[in-house]
Amino acid sequence: MKEHVFLPRKLDVAAFARDGATLTGEWPAAELQRLAESGAPEAPAASWPAVRWTLTGERREPRGAEAQVWLHLEAEAQVSLTCQRCLQPVQEALSLSRWYRFARNESEAAELDADSEDDVLVLSRSLDALEMVEDELLLSLPLVPRHDVCTQPLLVPQGVVAEEPEAAEERPHPFAALAALKKDK
């Protein structure tokens, strides 16, 4: 039997699953351009560790149904994002494990996707694993990256004066007029 050589940037998913093949690799984080752009400017992606990934194909043959093509993706990355409290770089570890089921066409994929919690994609003869890994890592980014405890306080720009606590007490309460109207009734 002929041994297939599978390329992660042009993956024949059906053949990969039929062979029950596995691919493992690393990509420099800077090659995942969209992920690199989401990082902190002070810590460019060239300084991040490589993104590690594994793809495993599987063909499932349920009784009385067509064979199903499945792909399992695992990936790990270490990224530097901007902390939303102190605006300094914060290290975030990303780790994911996802299963994908493949359908023959868009209509079948839409039907399967509506009936299932699994991710359903259209079967392709040239899936780009780099794009898939990058998409999943982007979806794994925290919505609000921040340190547990910020090491540096946020600096107040020159010309901006912090409000004194006494000044806040002197201002009238914004709902005082409404409270007075309510008491009159």
Per-10-residue mean pLDDT of the chain, 185 residues long, equals 79 93 95 95 94 96 87 96 92 95 85 79 89 96 92 69 60 78 75
pLDDT, residue 154, reads 64
Are 142 and 92 in contact by the 8 Å Cβ rule? The answer is yes
pTM > 0.85: yes or no: no
DSSP SS3 for 74: strand
Residues 6+ apart with CB under 8 A from 80: 39, 40, 42, 43, 47, 48, 89, 90, 91, 92
Helices (H), the chain: 13-18, 33-37, 106-115, 129-140, 165-170, 176-184
Predicted pLDDT at 113: 76
Whose CA is closest to 91, among 99, 83, 101, 102? 83
**Among candidate residues 65, 6, 35, 42, the one with its CA nearest the CA of residue 136:** 35
In this predicted structure, what is the pLDDT of residue 117? 76
User: Which phi and psi (to 5°) does residue 6 adopt?
Assistant: -100, 130
Rounded CA gap, 54 and 4, in Å? Answer: 17
Do the bridges between strand 89-103 and strand 119-122 make them parallel or antiparallel, or are there none, so unpaired?
parallel
